[in-house]
Structure 1
Amino acid sequence: MKTTSLFACITALLIILCFRGSNGQLSSTFYATSCPSALSTVKAAVTAAVAKEKRMAASLLRLHFHDCFVNGCDGSILLNDTSTFTGEKTAGPNANSVRGYEVIDTIKSRLEAVCSGVVSCADIVTIAARDSVVLLGGPTWTVPLGRRDSTTASLSTANSNLPSPSSDLSTLISAFQAQGLSTKDMIALSGAHTIGQARCTVFRSRIFNDTNIDSAFATSVKANCPSNGGDANLSPLDLVTPTVFDNNYYKNLRSKKGLLHSDQALFNGGSTDAMVTTYSTNPTTFFSDFATAMVNMGNISPLTGTSGEVRTDCRKTN
């Protein structure tokens, strides 16, 4: 009898431990039973949005990055201000800059219609980022799922954690290390700047003041970004193939044609020059490392199990 009771206790303990362990794990098949159309629903909406405006692919990719670097990949960036907290949308790196909120709203609405209260906003953002990259010719990867949504946001953390376009190499390395990402991850993820555009206000100082910049390139960009005015004017981060996800970003850096100061910092006689050279000459390696780094970034402090919630409206808590 004692042996039977002991066995029962051990079995129960193992079940509890296994259950607790599974709560902290993401899985690519998380919605296979609860919402089998989740991935296809996200893909259809992203495909339509990018077909309407190719720049949206870069915006959705950036939305994921700006979410994950602030208290983890928890959908906090999507929350509007409330009486109890100020959200992240008005933070310096996000205000008048981060886009794609309406696309996420559309996806959430469609998912609520087919499987209400199941797919988190945090997962939607993560899947949309992957689909956006694929649509512009970039690599694909299997997205681990099962994140839950935060019930709060942090303006101060958004202002402090997201790297500035004026960052130097050591600052970039430190910012990514603080999120558990390696220097290799940082260099690969920076390749996201092979698509998208930046506002004049964030690169004006580089084109007028930096010395490690191709003069003809600087002159061409100044036409749309004068020394005074035109703060909101846009310029492609990659002038060559701005709407194709390729390795031209790294080729540009080797030619001193990085648009942002933080871009060119990756190839400026420092420790990351060799990896930039590798990615500039081997797109397959870049694609592989980028996919790995995206999974690593998507794994930053997710809320799982009973933590957080699954919002029915991505802009507000339940």
Structure 2
Amino acid sequence: MARPPRAAASLPQHRLSVVVLGLLLFRAAAKAQLSGDSYYDASCPAALLTIRTVVSAAVLLDPRMGASLLRLHFHDCFVQGCDASVLLDDTGNFTGEKGAGPNAGSLRGFEVVDNAKMLLETLCPQTVSCADILAVAARDAVVQLGGPSWAVQLGRRDSTTASASLANSDLPSPSSTLATLLTAFSNKGLTTTDMVALSGAHTIGRAQCANFRDRIYNDTDIDASFAASLRAGCPQSGDGSSLAPLDESSPDGFDNGYFGGLLSGRGLLHSDQALFAGGGGGSTDGLVRSYAASNGQFSGDFASAMVKMGGISPLTGTAGEVRVNCRAVN
């Protein structure tokens, strides 16, 4: 009697499991990738133009808004990833991130995001995520103030959760030391170069007296005349809401002036001056000097770092949702 044909050899069970696991991991990794800035070309062709128009108008009316929109994106990405969790309002049974220490009374620009979202919901309902609006708005705000442009990676979705506790623990404070800053950024997958370049965002915007009061009265690495000029508007106690520019040389222009200020001991925040110890004693001194000498090098590194920061733990695929209202889950 003829033998039946032999079945094709099969992989051992353990090898088969490894292959299947590898395929699943590959699919998960591919699913988590963001796409280029053409992501909305088919689903919402006017998306980027709409955001840029809203941002340009807002920054034209109030140049400070440029720094505020950039800061919103940073404060979003450092907490749970770039998922628009920072935009969620508190409710009776939900506590968001807006009231956390680093955010309370200082985050601005929510209405600009609302305006962009309202227009986009009219043009392309439930298509453009709030997280993508934040990423694009940050880029457009920098460009509006004379800074570099970059291709924003898109395809983020919005979270249905937020974390006040992570906002309090993961966002660097104005009193951070260099070691603390390096750790905070490293924890998000960002290098020392990324950290120094992203700190250059302080070339625009203002800080409240409460955040630099201790520095101008107690720090020893601050230029004496600079500290004296700030004390007049920032008393040692009492109201701490008065503002001072983070870069006195060009507070509304995105350039490398911030780094020149650090070389002179005129960093407004303790965390700013921590980047430059002087005398070659700090691990980031060389970068600060390079950026102070070359706006081109700073702009290039800043743009690259913004792309990396915008890729911190995004929700993609079917994770999360596309909110209809950026302030509330659907």
Alignment identity in percent?
60
Q: 1:24 Cα deviation (Å)?
A: 1.2
After TM superposition, the score normalised by the length of structure 1 is 0.94
Structure 1 residue 179 corresponds to structure 2 residue 188: yes
Is it true that 1:215 corresponds to 2:221 in the alignment? no
CA distance in 1, matches of 2:232, 2:25: 62
Letter in 1 for 2:111: E
Counterpart check, 1:232 vs 2:241 = yes
Q: TM-score, normalised by structure 2?
A: 0.90
* Cα-to-partner distance string for 1:248-301 (whole Å, 9 max, x where unaligned): 000000000000000000001310000000000011000000000000000000
Show structure 2 runs of 5+ residues with no match. 1-6, 9-19
Where does residue 280 of structure 1 map in the other structure?
292
Match of 2:316 among 298, 301, 304: 304
Aligned 8 A contact 1:85 1:154 in 2 = no
Query: Which residue pairs with 1:243 in the alignment?
Result: 252
Q: How far did residue 16 of structure 1 move?
A: 8.6
Pairwise CA distance, 1:168: 0.3
Structure 1 gap ranges (5+) = 4-12
Partner Cα separation in structure 1 for residue 28 and residue 180 of structure 2: 37
Give a deviation string over 1:103-143, Cα, whole Å, max 9, x none.
00000000000000000000000000000000000000000
Question: How far apart in 1 are the matches of 2:295 and 2:253?
Answer: 13
1:89 aligns with 2:98: yes
Coordinate RMSD, CA, aligned: 1.7
Which residue of the partner structure matches residue 23 of structure 1? 31
Amino acid at match of 2:119: R
Equivalent position to 1:56, from 58, 65, 90? 65
Q: Give, in angstroms, the shift of residue 32 of structure 1.
A: 1.1
Distance of aligned partners of 1:282 and 1:54 in 2 relative to their CA distance in 1, 3 Å threshold: same
Superposed, 1:102-251 pairs within 5 Å as 102-251=111-260
2-side partners of 1:65 and 1:203: how far apart? 20
Residues 201 and 150 (structure 1), Cα distance of their counterparts in 2 relative to 1, 3 Å cut: same
- Larger radius of gyration between Structure 1 and Structure 2: 2
3-state secondary structure, aligned to 2:213: helix
User: Which residue in the other structure is 2:3 paired with?
Assistant: none
What letter matches 2:288 in structure 1? V
CA distance in 2, matches of 1:186, 1:24: 24
CA distance in 2, matches of 1:31, 1:39: 8
Q: Helix, strand or coil: the match of 2:262?
A: helix
> C-alpha distance in 1, partners of 2:240/2:29?
49
**Bigger mean CA offset, 80-89 vs 230-239:** 80-89
Offset at residue 23 of structure 1 (A): 2.1
- 4+ residue runs over 3 A deviation: 13-22
Task: Give 1:79 deviation, angstroms.
Answer: 0.3
SS in 2 for 1:198: strand
1-structure distance, mates of 2:130, 2:198: 22
Query: Are the aligned partners of 1:67 and 1:74 in contact in 2 as well (CA < 8 Å)?
Result: yes
* Residue in structure 2 matched with residue 80 of structure 1 by the alignment: 89
Matched residue count: 308
1:172-209 deviation digits (Å, cap 9, x = unpaired): 00000011111110000000000000000000000000
CA deviation after TM superposition for structure 1 residue 227, in Å: 1.0
Q: Separation in 2 of the partners of 1:49 and 1:229? A: 32
